[in-house]
């Protein structure tokens, strides 16, 4: 019974294409995140939503557009993909407040050719 699930797990695409990654959590959490992990393993926050409302946007290019249709889902759409977008994207969720455990999805490995 997966707590945070994201699809697809792997994405290989050409530069200039548009792609989406979907995320769902069944933990009843109010807050969801997207993190980007590059080849050097840095985990960098991109976005955070609390009850469908954007609360953190970490100067991510506007080619990246998150969408939260409800508090259990947070999707990430990327337009005009660039080589530098290649990374593993992790969805995560947490209860409201800053002291709860962050639960990660399995990650989506995006490769832009």
Partner 1 sequence: GENVEQHPSTLSVQEGDSAVIKCTYSDSASNYFPWYKQELGKRPQLIIDIRSNVGEKKDQRIAVTLNKTAKHFSLHITETQPEDSAVYFCAASPRAAGNKLTFGGGTRVLVKP
Contacts to partner 1 by CB under 8 A = 31, 33, 40-45, 48, 50, 55-56, 90, 94, 96-99, 101-102, 104-107
Tokens standing for 95? 């209860």
- Give me the residue label for tokens 């290989």: 12
The number of beta carbons lying within 10 Å of the beta carbon of residue 57 is 14
Residue 95 CA from chain centroid, whole number: 17
CB of 111 to partner 1, least distance (A): 15
Q: Which is nearer to partner 1, 82 or 104 (CB)?
A: 104
9 versus 16: smaller Cβ distance to partner 1:
9
């Amino acid at each position: 019974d997966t707590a945070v699930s994201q699809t697809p797990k792997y994405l290989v695409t050409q530069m200039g294409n548009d792609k989406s990654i979907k995320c769902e959590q069944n933990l009843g959490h109010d807050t969801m995140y997207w993190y980007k992990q590059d080849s050097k393993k840095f985990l960098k926050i991109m976005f955070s939503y609390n009850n469908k409302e954007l609360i953190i946007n970490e100067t991510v290019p506007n080619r990246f557009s998150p969408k939260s249709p409800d508090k259990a889902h947070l999707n990430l759409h990327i337009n005009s993909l660039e080589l530098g977008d290649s990374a593993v994207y992790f969805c995560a969720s947490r209860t409201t407040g800053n002291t709860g455990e962050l639960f990660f999805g399995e990650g989506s490995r995006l490769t832009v050719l």
